[in-house]
Amino acid sequence: MIFIDDVRANEVMDSRGNPTVQATVSLSDGTVATAIVPSGASTGKREALELRDGGDRYMGKGVLTACANVNEKISEALLGLSPYNQAEVDITMKTLDGTNNYGEMGANAVLGVSMAVARAAAKSLNMPLYRYLGGANAVTLPVPMFNIINGGEHANNSVDFQEYMIMPVGFDTFSDGLQAVAEIYQNLKKIIDAMGESTAVGDEGGFAPNLKSNEEPVQVIMEAIEKAGYKAGEQIVLALDVAASELINDEGLYELKSENRAITSAELVDYYADLCAKYPIKSIEDGLSEDDWEGWRILTEKLADTVQLVGDDLFVTNVSILAEGIEKDIANSILIKPNQIGTVSETMQTIRLAQRNGYTCVMSHRSGESEDTFIADFAVAMNTG
């Protein structure tokens, strides 16, 4: 029987120059696999805990404690277990941690090991990771969402909304869609430069110009689509990640600083409805605060028939919170970020609940990423297209 022979972790750097956890799992047949954990900038309050060291080193963002937890505690608990029983591996780590948010071991420690075990198991069987995780049912390539203008917590500019994205929905192949988006992106750069604005980029690679309102990025993107020779609304549609939890103030109003006003949930929903009527916006992520469930109800009633309403901070990939949202008919889609919940198994459980209830699932990176490609395989494995 093949078993887990060794588990180790060390610090590596993410795309923002902060430390993160790299886990390495070795099997008794000589298979070795690694995984690197991402990190978010705008995070939901109910996310699993990312364990950081504090202190002066790396401005408090070191992960030596999380790595030590892997090397000293998690390793001991997993030695001898089968790598092919992902649920057993993940439950063992959850039991070892003993909290409901991985507050002892750290979700960054646990997830790194969880992903590395899955990758090692697939490698040992000479299977692609997507096929190992998804089996014969892994048949769908996702429609990608490309973040081309950054604002909010992802950029040091005047735009309130965090992400402005485009989706190549009108193409037969992924590669054709990718080509279209690349051409739109390059045209967008020329347009922003001609406006006299900076073409510097934010945390996620989108441009971060100082624009006059939250609608102006949409207008600029529409111009770029036209200049690139594509049809907005047919070949290319738009998506927003508002990250509204970052906008709400102590009075429960949403502060749109670029427009010098603070508005209610209902007014913000009306604002979205107006934007969606004027432009081909087909997806809005975190349109209301994670705590504003009444606002989410209003948003869902008004736009759910025509727009994908994605809960990120709202659901934090948590099966229990998602179940409550389904019961209350809140949103119609969930963002999937494995590091919000902590393990591969728990992420799969959340996806399956969403799919059974007609919610779409959007597999997502974090703003602090690495060269790890796990979620690309995961998206195909779980048909989150």
| CATH label of the domain that carries residue 276 | 3.20.20.120
Residue 59 lies in a domain: yes
pLDDT, position 152? 74
Name the average pLDDT for the chain: 95
pLDDT, position 200? 87
pLDDT, position 303? 99
User: Can 212 be counted among the known catalytic residues?
Assistant: no
Residue with tokens 């956890």: 21
107 and 145 belong to one structural domain: no
| Neighbour-count burial of 1, counting CB atoms closer than 10 A to its CB (0-12 exposed, 13-18 middle, 19+ buried) | exposed
Residue 345 lies in a domain: no
120 and 180 belong to one structural domain: no
Q: How confident is the model at residue 156 (pLDDT cuts 50, 70, 90)?
A: low
274 and 195 belong to one structural domain: yes
Q: How far apart are CA 100 and CA 355, in angstroms?
A: 24
pLDDT, position 154? 52
Q: Is the pLDDT of residue 203 over 80?
A: no
- Please name the residues in contact with 161: beta carbons below 8 A apart, sequence gap of 6 or more: 151, 152, 214, 217, 240, 241, 242, 243
Q: How far apart are CA 305 and CA 286, in angstroms?
A: 17
User: Can 227 be counted among the known catalytic residues?
Assistant: no
Residue range 91-127, pLDDT digits in tens = 999 999 999 999 999 999 999 999 999 999 999 999 9
Q: Which of 290, 337, 346, 369 is catalytic?
A: 337
Mean pLDDT over residues 172-180, rounded? 95
Residue 4: C-alpha distances to residues 7, 31, 93, 377 (Å): 8, 10, 14, 22
168 and 108 belong to one structural domain: no
> In this structure, are residues 98 and 104 in contact, taking their beta carbons and an 8 Å threshold?
yes
Residue 292 lies in a domain: yes
69 and 162 belong to one structural domain: no
Mean pLDDT over residues 342-351, rounded? 98
pTM for this prediction? 0.94
pLDDT, position 310? 99
pLDDT, position 45? 82
Q: Which domain covers residue 246, as residue numbers?
A: 137-314
pLDDT, position 158? 78
Q: Which of 204, 246, 285, 369 is catalytic?
A: 204
Q: How far apart are CA 218 and CA 166, in angstroms?
A: 10
pLDDT, position 258? 85
Q: Which of 37, 22, 17 is nearest to 341 (CA)?
A: 37
20 and 118 belong to one structural domain: yes
Q: How confident is the model at residue 180 (pLDDT cuts 50, 70, 90)?
A: very high
54 and 84 belong to one structural domain: yes
Give the sign of the dihedral formed by CA 101, CA 50, CA 340, CA 136.
negative
User: What's the total number of domains in the chain?
Assistant: 2
Mean pLDDT over residues 187-215, rounded? 91
Sheet architecture: strand order including 333-336: 146-150, 163-168, 236-241, 281-285, 308-311, 333-336, 360-363
pLDDT, position 210? 87
Residue range 289-315, pLDDT digits in tens = 999 999 999 999 999 999 999 999 999
Residue range 50-101, pLDDT digits in tens = 999 999 999 999 999 999 999 999 999 999 999 999 999 999 999 999 999 9
